[in-house]
Amino acid sequence: MATDTITHETVSQLVEAGAIRAAHVVGQKGGWGVLFKYGMTERPLAAQRGNVRVFKRFETIVSYLREMGIVQFDVDAAQYDPSAPLSASSQSNAERARAQMKAAHQAAAYDKWFRAEISAALAEADDPATVKVAHGNVAAALRSGDTAALRALAGKTKRKARA
C-alpha cells in the first residue's frame, strides 16, 4: 500500500502560512525521515515519485528543517539502524540521481564542445583569407557524382586558407 506523502513545495507553503503544527524526525533503517503534522493530518516528506524521503545523515535533516523555518521538532531514534542498507527504492533513487547528474555533465560538456566548434567555424568563415566556394559549383559536383571535383574544391579551399 502506498504511503500518502507531502511534497517540499506543500510543506513550504504550510510553514509560510503557519499551518505546520509539529515535525517529527523518525529514525529508520539507513537514515532519518520526517513527518509533518498539519490540521488533523500527519504525512511523511516525499522524495521523487512519491516515495518517502530518507536522509542518511541527521545533520542534513536538521539543516533542511532549519532552512524551512522549523527549529523545534521531536526525534524518535528507536528504529534507527545506521548499519542497515537503505531500502531498494532509496538505492534506486540514488542510482537514478547519479545517472541524471552524469547525463547533465555530459550534456554540458557536449554543449561546450559544440559552441566552440560553431565559434571556430564562424571565425573561419569571417576570415578574409578563407576562400569561399560557390554553392552552385559544389551542388553541380555533387549532382554529377564527380568526387575528383569535390576533392579539388576541398583542397583549393584548404590551400588558400592556410596561405
Tell me, yes or no, whether 53 and 96 share the same domain: no
> Residue 145 domain-assigned?
yes
pTM of the model: 0.50
pLDDT of residue 94: 66
Identify whether residues 24 and 74 lie together within a single domain. Answer: yes
pLDDT tens-digit series, residues 95-106: 777 777 788 888
Q: Residue range 79-90: average pLDDT?
A: 69
Give the type of residue at 72: Q
| Count of the separate structural domains present in the chain | 3
Same domain membership, residue 74 and residue 16? yes
List pLDDT tens digits, range 93-148: 667 777 777 888 888 888 899 999 999 999 988 999 888 888 999 999 999 999 99
Distance of alpha carbon 121 from alpha carbon 127, whole angstroms: 10
Which structural domain range is residue 152 located in? 127-163
Query: Residue 138 and residue 80: Cα distance in Å, rounded?
Result: 72
In degrees, rounded to 5, the angle at the alpha carbon of residue 62 between the alpha carbons of residues 57 and 66 is 150
Q: At 159, is the pLDDT very low, low, confident or very high (cuts 50, 70, 90)?
A: very low
Given 85, 118, 146, which residue is the final one in a domain? 85
The per-residue pLDDT for range 26-70, each reduced to its tens digit, is 998 888 999 999 988 999 998 877 688 989 899 999 999 999 999
Longest Cα separation, the chain: 82
Higher-scoring residue by pLDDT: 90, 113: 113
